[in-house]
Structure 1
Amino acid sequence: MTDREAELAANLARVEERIASACAASGRKREEVTLIVVTKTYPASDVRLLAGLGVRHVAENKDQDAAPKAAACADLPLTWHFVGQLQTNKARSVAEYAQVVQSVDRPKLVTALSAAAERAGRELGCLVQVALDAESGTRGDRGGAAPDLVADLAERVASAPGLRFDGLMTVAPLSGPYAGRERAAFERLVELSSGLRAGHPAATMVSAGMSGDLEQAVAAGATHVRVGTAVLGDRPRLG
C-alpha cells in the first residue's frame, strides 16, 4: 500500500466511524446513509485509489475538471454526482458522465439537462438544490432555489424526458435565518422532502452535510453526506 493509499484509508475509516456514531446516536441504521466523496480539485489517481478502498459514490463541482477525470476512471464501478452550480451550456457534457445532478435550481437547467440526457440516451437522476438563504422566488448565494420554488421545479424534473426526480440537496447557508444553525437547516430540508413524497414517493434522497457538519445532517435525517476534506486531506491540488 502506498503512502497516499494508506492516508486515504485512514481518513475513510475516521469518516466511517463518524457516520456510524452519528447514526447510532440518532437511532438510525448505518446503511441508511450513503457517503459521497467529493473529489473536486483532486486527481484521477486519488479517485482510483478511493475506488480500490470501496468508495462507490464520488462528486465533482466543475465540468472542466470532472469530464476528463470521469473519462480516465470510466472502468471503475462508480456513481458520479455533479454538485456545483451548473451553466446550461455545460449540461450536454455533464449528461455524458454523471448519474446524478444535485444542483438543479431553475427551469432553464431542467430543459437543458432533459435535452442532453435524451441526446445521450441516458436517464439522469436530479436533485433540486434548496437555498435556505434565498428570499421568495430567488436563488441563493451558493446556488439553489428558494423553498417556495422547489415544488414547481420538482414537477418539471419529474415530467421532463430523460430525467428522474430523486430528491433534494442543500448546502448549509452562510446568511439568513439558518446561518450557523446547520441542524435546523437540514431539518428544514427533510421537512421539504417529506412534503414532496405524496406526489413523488420515489424521491427519497436528502443530500446534506459535509466534512464539518455531517453529524448534524445525519441527525436531521439526511440520506447522503458529501465529504471532501475529511477524506482527501490537504494534499497539493490541481491548478
Structure 2
Amino acid sequence: MSLERIFETKKDTENERWLEASVDECGGARGGGITVQIHKLENFNLPTELKKRTGSFIEMAGPTKYGYGFYDFQIGQGPKPLDLAKEVPRDRFYTSNIFKGLPQWSGSAGEFKGFIDTVAFRADARALPIKTGSIDGVFCSCLASVSPRGAEDIRQQTPSEAVSADVAAGGREDVKILRRRAIEEVWRALKRGGLLIWQGGLKSDLEFGKQIGFSVPHYEEQVFHDGQKTYKIVFLKKV
C-alpha cells in the first residue's frame, strides 16, 4: 500500500469541507492493482462516530469473513486502515442471515461447501425483525441473492434450510432492487443519527440511499485494474 496524495476540496452542496485522499493497494483475489479514492467530511471521524453510538448494531447477510475494511484520515495524517466491525463492542453486535450462517462456495462451478460460523438471529434483509427506529447501526457487505441452482445445492445438502433457500433465491431478484429494499428497511430500523456501513456497493446504492434521505459523510471508491468499481459507503440517518 502506498499513499498517492492527500488534498482538500470543497463541495458546493455541503456546508462542511470535504477531504479527499488516494491510496494504492495490491489487487488481492482479482490481481493487479486497486486505487482507493477516499471522500469524507472534514469533521467526520469513523472510530469516533461509532463510539458515540452506545446502542445495538446488527449485521445483515453475515457473518462477513474478512471484516469491514475502511480508511480514515485527517489533514496532515495519511489514511489509516480500519476494520469498522471491530470498533463496536461484541456484546452490542448481532449478526444475522436468512440462513443459519453464511453460505460458502468454492470452485469455478460455485459448489456449496457449507456455512461459515453461525448467526445470532435469522432474518431477511428486506424484512428485519427490528422495531422501527430502535438501533444505532447496521453493517452489510456485498448483498446479493442466492441463485436457484445454489438454493437447490443448499436444499440437497441441508434439508432443514430448504425454506430459507427458496426465499433467498426469490426468483433471482435483480441485485439493484434487492439492495434498494434492504436499504429502505435499514432506514426504517435505524434511530435518527444511526449509521449504515455498506461494503461492496454499487454507485446506484449510493445514489438511492441519498434519494430516500440518508446523508453520506464518508465513501470510498475502489477502482480495479480492469476499470471495474465498487463502493464502501457510510450512510447517516440525519437527526
TM-score range with shorter-chain normalisation?
A: 0.3 to 0.5
Higher Rg: 2
TM-score (norm 1): 0.36
**Structure with greater strand share of residues:** 2
TM-score (norm 2): 0.36
